[in-house]
Structures are given as structure tokens and as C-alpha cells.
Amino acid sequence: MAIERVFSQSVPDDERYLTALRPQRLDECIGQEVVREQLRIALDAARKRGEPLDHVLLDGPPGLGKTTLAHVIAHEMQATIRVTSGPAIARQGDLMMMLTQMERGDVLFIDEIHRLAKVVEEFLYPALEDFRVDYTTESGIGGRTVNFALRRFTLVGATTRAGMLSAALRDRFGLLFHLQFYTEDELVRIVERNAQVLKIKADHAALQRLASRSRGTPRIVNRLLRRVRDYAEVRGDGALTPDVVDAALEILQIDALGLDNLDRAYLTALIRHYDGGPAGIEAISATMGHERDTLEDVVEPYLLQIGFVIRTPRGRVARPAAYQHLGLPERGRASDERLLFE
């Protein structure tokens, strides 16, 4: 049976809420110090030359700020941003319509760019390199190909699975940035800022408690802030305290490490059904009734980061910390764990 989670994909109401909290300028962003410094240099150089910014590829787990950085880039360059996603561009004509509407310096943001259709991806190559495209106006014998000149624009691509990008597409980006999970201190600064924006009364300890359970992800800490605010208004006086945070997150079934029902179900399936592994991701997804992509993109990155799971050539393996966290006895293993990596 499918398991609901507070960390699921964005819904329109959440998107409006997150957009209101989104930084507008690079100096307002918190965390990702290396990426911000490299991007600042590129932006300053582009503005100094009076040229559009080079194409940018952002990769990393969901919720780390790829969409935010795309909007920041457009704002810093004083450009219009057009937003779409890989699955939404089904045909060359869909992309052609957007490209011909771009003004000089505009930003085209393609989320989930790894999911572009192959024919669309190949159509994009000359647009990125030469700012020209060859478009076939009609199919069949009567069709003709017209070469269109495009205004120079900046493509910002975002992906959670950089390994699925073709080398040909990746090589056409001049700036490539990998976003890391945020530290707890960075998340505290983010949630403090957002609590002020939303005029939420909260003490530092309560916000620190929220940050520690947010899986190193700003999107999650912002959502939890909203859920805890609702709880505080209904069950309390509207102020956030450590006790209010603990009570609200207990209702949401989020534990001290930020794991929710889906995370615990993943670990339980791996440990109980497959004796802790090694087990293939397809087998685990079939056991849980969830899509493989959901587990690989949403669940596993954090479990890998905190050392609860490792990936081996033979499959996923639960580590002792996962058993301890779930309160399960660790079963005996072969004495030579090197066999897992063969």
C-alpha cells in the first residue's frame, strides 16, 4: 500500500508558499557557499561584458534550491525567466515556440532536463551553441526546413539525476554546479529568516529543533515551519516552542533524525524482507509499492548521507546505524563483508 509523506512532491499551494519565501538576489541566499561564489564571479563577468550569462546546469537532490537559483540568476541579470520542464516539452514545436519568443538575455529554465525526449534534446543542441535552429515546417514530401536565428539567451537546466544526461547535452553547459545538502546551522538561518517574513513568533531552540529534522533540505524546513505554525495556532497560542515543535512533528510521524513513514518503510523492507541486503532497488520498490524513481530521488539520498544505507554492485545494504535507529536486532552476516563489493 502506498505510504503518504509530508516530504512528497510539491502541490500548487505549497509552491505559492515557497515562492513567497524565495530569495530574489544572490546575497540573500544562504548556504551553498562554493556555488554562490562561482556563480557571483560568472554573473559579474557577464554584466561587465554586457553579455548574457553562459548556460547553467544545476544538479542535486530535490529541494536544495535549483529553481530558486534559476530565478536569482534571472533577477541578477535583469532578465525575464520562462519556466518549463523536460516532460512538458513533448515535441520540437513546443520548444520552438519558446525559443522564438526569447529576447536577448532572457533565461529559459528547464526543470527535470534529463527527461527531455531525445528528438527534442538534439533539436536543442544548435540553439545552445550557435543560437540557430533548423525547423521542419511540414512533414512528408512537401515539408521544408527553415533555419531560424535566435536571440542569445541563457538556458538554466535542473536535474536530480545528472548521470542520465547525455554527454552531448552536458558538454553544452558552460557552468555546472552540484548542490549539497545544507548544514543544520544554515537551515536555522533559513528558517529564522522565513519565520520573520511570515511574522511567526518562535524561539531559537524551536527553530533549531525544526532544522535538525529537515534532512538538510530548505524545502522541507519551510514546509515543516508551515505545518508547525498550523499546529501552534490550533493547539496553542501561535508561538513556536520546542515542546510545540515536538508535538507537531510527532503527529506528522517525523522522528528525531527527520525520517518519516516512507523512510522507515524503506529501511524496514530492506531489513525484514531482504535480511538487510544486498537487495536490488527494483525488488525494494516492488515490495513497497512505490516507484523506483521516488526511492532513488527522494528517499535514498538522505539515507546514504547519514550512513544508514550503502549502494554496492549487488544492491542496497542496510548499515548497523539503521538497525539501531529502528530498534531492530542486527542479524548475522558473512564474516568477510568485502564480498558485498565484488
The better pLDDT of the pair 281, 141 is held by 281
What does the pLDDT read at residue 341? 47
Catalytically active residues are 66-67, 111, 160, 219
Q: Which fold has domain 32-178?
A: Rossmann fold (3.40.50)
Grid cell for residue 198: 511570515
What does the pLDDT read at residue 143? 57
Partners of residue 145 on adjacent β-strands: 136
d(C-alpha 39, C-alpha 70), whole Å:
11
Enumerate the domain spans of the chain.
32-178, 184-251, 261-341
What does the pLDDT read at residue 19? 64
What does the pLDDT read at residue 294? 84
What does the pLDDT read at residue 335? 40
113 and 160 Cβ atoms separated by less than 8 Å? no
pLDDT tens-digit readout, 218-227: 999 999 998 9
% of the chain beyond a pLDDT of 70: 87
Closest CA to 179 of 52, 15, 57: 57
Say yes or no to pLDDT of 7 above 90: no
Say yes or no to pLDDT of 91 above 50: yes
The better pLDDT of the pair 134, 295 is held by 295
96 and 214 Cβ atoms separated by less than 8 Å? no
Q: Look up cell 525520517; give the residue.
A: 259
pLDDT tens-digit readout, 59-72: 998 889 899 999 99
Q: Which fold has domain 261-341?
A: Arc Repressor Mutant, subunit A (1.10.10)
Angle at 130 between CA 129 and CA 131, to 5 degrees: 100
% of the chain beyond a pLDDT of 90: 34
CA 215 remoteness from chain centre: 12
Say yes or no to pLDDT of 230 above 80: yes
Rg for the chain, CA atoms, rounded: 23
What does the pLDDT read at residue 2? 44
Grid cell for residue 57: 546546469
pLDDT tens-digit readout, 301-323: 889 988 899 999 899 999 999 99
The better pLDDT of the pair 309, 342 is held by 309
Grid cell for residue 269: 523492507
* pTM as predicted: 0.81
Instruction: Report residue 57's pLDDT band, with 50, 70 and 90 as the boundaries.
Output: very high
CATH number assigned to the domain with residue range 184-251, chosen from the 4 options 3.40.50.1110, 3.40.50.2300, 3.30.200.20, 1.10.8.60? 1.10.8.60
pLDDT tens-digit readout, 117-167: 888 888 888 888 888 887 766 655 555 677 788 889 999 999 988 888 888
b/e map 114-130, b = 16+ CB within 10 Å: bbbbeebbebbebbbee
